[in-house]
Structure 1
Amino acid sequence: MQCPSLSSVDTDYSACALEFCPGQRNLFACGTYQVLKAGERAGAPQSSAEKGEDAVDGATPGEEEEEEAGNSPEVTRVGRCLLYEVDSEGKQLEEKQRVEGPAILDLKWSPRPWQGRTTLAVADAKGHVQLHGLDEETGLLSHVQTVDCADESTLCLSLDWSNRRQASPEPASIVVSLSSGSICTQGGESSFTVTNEWHAHDFEPWIAAFDCWEPSTVWTGGDDLTLKGWDLRQGCDRPTFVNKRSFEGGVTTIQSHQHVENLFAVGSYDSHIRLFDRRKPLVPLTTFDAGGGIWRLKWHPSDPRRLLVAGMHGGFKVVDFDGLALGAGVDEAGWLKPGEARLHARFDGHESLAYGVDWSDGGTTSEGKDLVASCSFYDHALHVWAC
């Protein structure tokens, strides 16, 4: 099924991250990224080379043109956090706010209120995580805190909150992957500080994510074609497992299944979605070739079988694992059995790298279809569609 665009907007800067606000089906944030060479100013049109349709998998987003040997120009990375509101049918899209700052590589809302309010965490290109609180009366963001994860030459590549599935007696924490190859965690009662840091990968760790059923477990993946597990209770001197056999490209995205315990999905530049049981993470339970290289995966908020895919060169897709329809089945040995995957729908309205995508949190059209928002990089486009 091909899904039509219901509304769209030009984000000006290249768009690479997007997420709907928990509990507010019509509100979402989009993060953007633009590289300025010496002498360029923010907001200036990009050259055709900088729009770079021939992107190289494995390069930091937006910076493939800097990889020519010899004389890379001095650059500044700028970005905006854009807050949008869309109507229930997906046809009226309004920008409510823009927050200027360093380039944004990832952003995620706190699944549960942090310090009494919904909070947006932003991973930026100057080694920071920016925390912005959402005001319930105005519906706008205000800066709460900046957490220094590394020096300003280091990029924060991804982040994840520990409290996605349920409230916990423990305070919420955030895990962040850094372009240096390190991973850090942040936590605290009234404000966040870096609580742990360790070197995890020899190349860029594109992704770090919590097991939402057991937040003391962190999974990481990187450009070294490796998936690793870490137990925060035992310290992170060594991983609990190392999977180098399953992947033919860099590991780019990981998401724990919030409805099926022990199950998590992993995406890679090699275009394959792999589902793993956390109890045997060296062998995938099932594999599906989604095409195009995968940048992000998002499980549906309520339908356990449905997975949303940002497929880079292959557009956006919705994939169903029918074995998860009524909760995961198990085989005779007790291992999860998600079944074969099938393509449910696709959206090909973007003309560039498919990077950011998310389900609306409970948003459906009058026809009963799920609202989805997606964004792409070099054409700096944002679309709302339904499937």
Structure 2
Amino acid sequence: MIASHKTKYSADSIETKPGDQTKFACATYQLDSSGTERHGNVSILDFQEKSVKVSSVLETGGVLDLWWRDEGCLLAACASGELHMIDVDKDCALSVHNVAKVSSDILLAVDGSSNTVVTSDTAGIIYSINPDSLEISVKIEAAHGAQGWGAEVWGLALDRHDVNLVYSGGDDCLLKCHDLRTPHTVSTSRYHTMGVCCISPDPVSPNRILSGSYDELVVEWDTRNFKQPLRTVSVGGGVWRIKRSPDNMHALIAGMHSGFHIADLTEFAVAQTYTGHTSLAYGADWLDQGFVATCSFYDNLVNVWHSGV
């Protein structure tokens, strides 16, 4: 561990700032002792000279996921069912630009491109949203779940080569691909034996994605064949987050109860495991010069350490 920082609430998401890999956004979410109020915030943290400093904090209520639209705009998927568009100025001060009430349930994930934002909720619904107005353009009902019940959609990612396609993973153990133009399910994988938590499309190679699940597996897919995976590796804990390195040669993996891992994507094997957190390994992203920032939940902890690559 090179540096650490304690958050006010339980930390669950980290996203490195585009154009400046020393700064990163951190989201928090915490249910109060009464079980009725959900607290949380978004902060910009700066890793400099072996320390983490707070640039700014914005109280938002509980946030489950973050996505940078660009270096001046951050989107937050909130427990209130709202999507917050947050302005980030040159000094990293945060201010709310727009708020959209997307769902009556908790928003769990957010991802996007220059012309599309997607988010999902605990009721099994996926929403495609205009990134400027935050108006809903497409709503995929019952994207996950069956016979009238909705399964939480934790995993969500736009295809990096065809933004009409969105991948989703749910508590129903299914990994799916949807076409936003129809919308309908293009293909479904039933390979994972537990809920699918995260999806990482390959930015270089079309038709390649990684999926991660509570079943402790990271799986590589050719999306043209969801029946049989290309490769798998177990990390010994539920896979909550997969983040590819800037050179796309390694992956940073949040393994929940097993800590954080660096996987070599050529060998498709775990190269390093980091156990400097004492609680659920959730948020993670790559910083500059091989450093990574990670966060864990109940101990409200952010750590910066070196990936070794």
Bin for the TM-score computed over the shorter chain? over 0.9
Deviation at 1:353, TM superposition (A): 0.2
Instruction: In structure 2, give the amino acid aligned to 1:31.
Output: A
Q: Which residue of 2 aligns with 1:242?
A: 188
Q: Deviations over 1:244-269 (max 9, x none)?
A: 1x111100000111122221100000
Q: Deviations over 1:331-355 (max 9, x none)?
A: xxxxxxxxx4122222110000000
Report the Cα distance in structure 1 between the residues aligned to 2:223 and 2:163, rounded to whole angstroms.
13
Q: Which residue of 2 aligns with 1:145?
A: 98
Equivalent position to 2:54, from 88, 92, 95: 95
Q: Which residue of 2 aligns with 1:265?
A: 210
Instruction: In structure 2, give the amino acid aligned to 1:309.
Output: I
Q: Which residue of 1 aligns with 2:259?
A: 315
Report the Cα distance in structure 2 between the residues aligned to 1:214 and 1:282, rounded to whole angstroms.
21
Query: If the length of structure 1 is used for normalisation, what is the TM-score?
Result: 0.76
Report the Cα distance in structure 2 between the residues aligned to 1:381 and 1:249, rounded to whole angstroms.
27
Instruction: In structure 2, give the amino acid aligned to 1:243.
Output: S
Equivalent pair of 1:159/1:207 in contact (CA under 8 Å): no
Report the Cα distance in structure 2 between the residues aligned to 1:314 and 1:23, rounded to whole angstroms.
31
Query: Which ranges of structure 2 fall in alignment gaps of 5 or more residues?
Result: 146-150
Instruction: In structure 2, give the amino acid aligned to 1:286.
Output: R
Q: Which has the higher contact order (CA 8 A, sep 6+)?
A: 1
Equivalent pair of 1:35/1:75 in contact (CA under 8 Å): yes
Higher strand share: 2
Deviation at 1:92, TM superposition (A): 1.7
Report the Cα distance in structure 1 between the residues aligned to 2:291 and 2:110, rounded to whole angstroms.
24
Report the Cα distance in structure 2 between the residues aligned to 1:354 and 1:194, rounded to whole angstroms.
32
Report the Cα distance in structure 1 between the residues aligned to 2:257 and 2:251, rounded to whole angstroms.
18
Query: Which ranges of structure 1 fall in alignment gaps of 5 or more residues?
Result: 39-73, 164-171, 323-339, 365-369
Q: Deviations over 1:9-47 (max 9, x none)?
A: 111211000111011111101000111144xxxxxxxxx
Deviation at 1:139, TM superposition (A): 2.4
Report the Cα distance in structure 1 between the residues aligned to 2:31 and 2:305, rounded to whole angstroms.
29
> Does the residue aligned with 1:240 lie in a helix, a strand or coil?
strand
Query: If the length of structure 2 is used for normalisation, what is the TM-score?
Result: 0.94
Report the Cα distance in structure 2 between the residues aligned to 1:209 and 1:343, rounded to whole angstroms.
23
Report the Cα distance in structure 2 between the residues aligned to 1:351 and 1:97, rounded to whole angstroms.
26
Tell whether 2:278 aligns with 1:351: yes
State, as a whole percentage, how many aligned pairs show the same letter.
34
Equivalent position to 1:201, from 131, 144, 147: 144
Deviation at 1:82, TM superposition (A): 1.4
Q: Which residue of 2 aligns with 1:286?
A: 231
Report the Cα distance in structure 2 between the residues aligned to 1:95 and 1:8, rounded to whole angstroms.
11
Equivalent pair of 2:196/2:211 in contact (CA under 8 Å): yes
